[in-house]
Amino acid sequence: MFQADGYHVAVVGATGAVGQKMIETLENRNFPIQTLSLLASKRSVGKKVSYKGQEIEIKEATPEAFTGVDIALFSAGGSISKQLAKEAVVRGAVVVDNTSAFRMDENVPLVVPEVNEADIKEHNGIIANPNCSTIQMVAALEPIRKTYGLNRVIVSTYQSVSGSGTAAVEELKTQTKAFLEDKEMEANILPVKGDKHHYPIAFNALPQIDVFQENGYTFEEMKMINETKKIMHLPELEVAATCVRLPFFTAHAESVYIEIEDENVTVDQIKGLLKDAPGIVLEDDPATQTYPTPLKAQGKRDVFVGRIRKDLDRPNGFHLWVVSDNLLKGAAWNSVQIAERLVENNWLKK
């Protein structure tokens, strides 16, 4: 089960929605692990989590917990990453960070392996995992950009509650039950945990994910805008985003409008590119009502694309529907993929 020639791996936020999927993904991928440290807050110390049939006790995430760790996967929120990621790095670990803490830092690569794998090797101890909504979109757009160029992106998202953690998942369950029993729905978590105003998510749609910025966009929208330009190495790319939370549990869907450089491209040519692209599954056949949905994408590692149409007014415009499991490709799987590339390419040590 544990390999003597494997790595010392730590998962920070091991009790959370993302952390749990990280542990599952490490297990499913048979990642070469010699020791596995599962770290969370003080509240969880002593809880047990199973890995390959063995019960592992949760320990508190402290600077000393990273002694001897080779690879640390962080998903305990931005403030924990800001406190502890560098503590892990000074102790010799390479950190794959799932939070927004370092994503726009120019010394930190921001990586979706299907798009910019080579950026991993430029790391200085920390590699950032992009936001879930960004990851699935850039994975779908990269094959198109490579062949036909990309000028503009306008995206609207349809995001599940698991993106806001286990408390939001519980809140949707409780509110749904209350609503169906004609009781008052209590809202304590969404749209932003810890914020002043809360709205019910059950039977609703919330056009706010993360906090508002001065320009009127939410932080989630600005993450999509800024991260897309960085990952695709297209600082001049025009990107606009509207991010919406909806009452389903897992996977995010996106309506993506793009303008490419070439005006003579057909829908079949775009489909041909996506059909053979790494990590992408094309599910697109109006005749048989075939297209991706969040329920079908749940539990899968791929990014699913369908509903590809040419814009009716602009010859270089296309519309796509992109769906993926936010906890897998959007978080845990993308992080484990980065860890796999680190060890396969011998990029752990500089």
> Residues interacting with ligand 3JM, by CB under 6 A?
77-79, 99-100, 131-132, 163, 223
Is there binding between residue 76 and ligand NAP (CB under 6 A)? yes
243 flagged as catalytic: no
Looking at the Cβ atoms of 78 and 272, the one nearer to ligand 3JM is 78
Distance CA(85)–CA(125), nearest Å, equals 9
For 8, the 3-state DSSP assignment is: strand
With contact defined as beta carbons under 8 Å apart, do 252 and 159 qualify? Answer: yes
Structure tokens at 27: 């297990």
Looking at the Cβ atoms of 133 and 175, the one nearer to ligand NAP is 133
Contacts of 337 (CB under 8 A, 6+ apart): 113
Contacts of 323 (CB under 8 A, 6+ apart): 136, 251, 252, 253, 254, 292, 293, 294, 296, 297, 303, 304, 305, 306
Q: Count residues near ligand NAP (CB under 6 A).
A: 28
Among residues 123, 132, 198, 233, the one annotated as catalytic is: 132
Report the run of H or E that residue 317 belongs to, with start and end: strand 317-324
| Residue 223 binds which entry of ligand NAP, ligand 3JM, none, CB below 5-8 Å type-dependent | ligand 3JM
Q: Point out which span in 64-72, 164-172, 211-219, 305-313 binds ligand NAP (CB under 6 A).
A: 164-172
User: Nearest distance from residue 6's CB to ligand NAP, in Å?
Assistant: 23
Is there binding between residue 132 and ligand NAP (CB under 6 A)? yes
| Residue 218 binds which entry of ligand 3JM, ligand NAP, none, CB below 5-8 Å type-dependent | none
How many other C-beta atoms can be found within 10 angstroms of the C-beta atom of residue 46?
9
Is there binding between residue 99 and ligand NAP (CB under 6 A)? yes
| CA count, 13 A, side-chain hemisphere, 265 | 26
Sole residue written with tokens 């149409």: 309
| Residue 229 binds which entry of ligand NAP, ligand 3JM, none, CB below 5-8 Å type-dependent | none
| Residue 54 binds which entry of ligand NAP, ligand 3JM, none, CB below 5-8 Å type-dependent | none
Distance CA(160)–CA(146), nearest Å, equals 30
> Alpha-carbon torsion 69, 72, 118, 107, what sign?
negative
User: Nearest distance from residue 194's CB to ligand 3JM, in Å?
Assistant: 8
How many other C-beta atoms can be found within 10 angstroms of the C-beta atom of residue 8?
18
Structure tokens at 209: 């994910």
132 flagged as catalytic: yes
Taking Cα atoms as reference points, which of 36, 23, 25 lies closest to residue 69? 36
Residues 8-37 that bind ligand NAP (CB under 6 A): 13-19
| Residue 330 binds which entry of ligand NAP, ligand 3JM, none, CB below 5-8 Å type-dependent | ligand NAP
With contact defined as beta carbons under 8 Å apart, do 49 and 76 qualify? Answer: no
User: Nearest distance from residue 282's CB to ligand NAP, in Å?
Assistant: 23
User: Nearest distance from residue 329's CB to ligand 3JM, in Å?
Assistant: 13
Looking at the Cβ atoms of 228 and 316, the one nearer to ligand 3JM is 228
Residues of this chain that interact with ligand NAP (CB under 6 A) are 13-19, 40-41, 43-44, 61, 75-78, 80, 98-99, 129, 131-132, 163, 165-167, 330-331
Q: Which residues are catalytic?
A: 132, 252
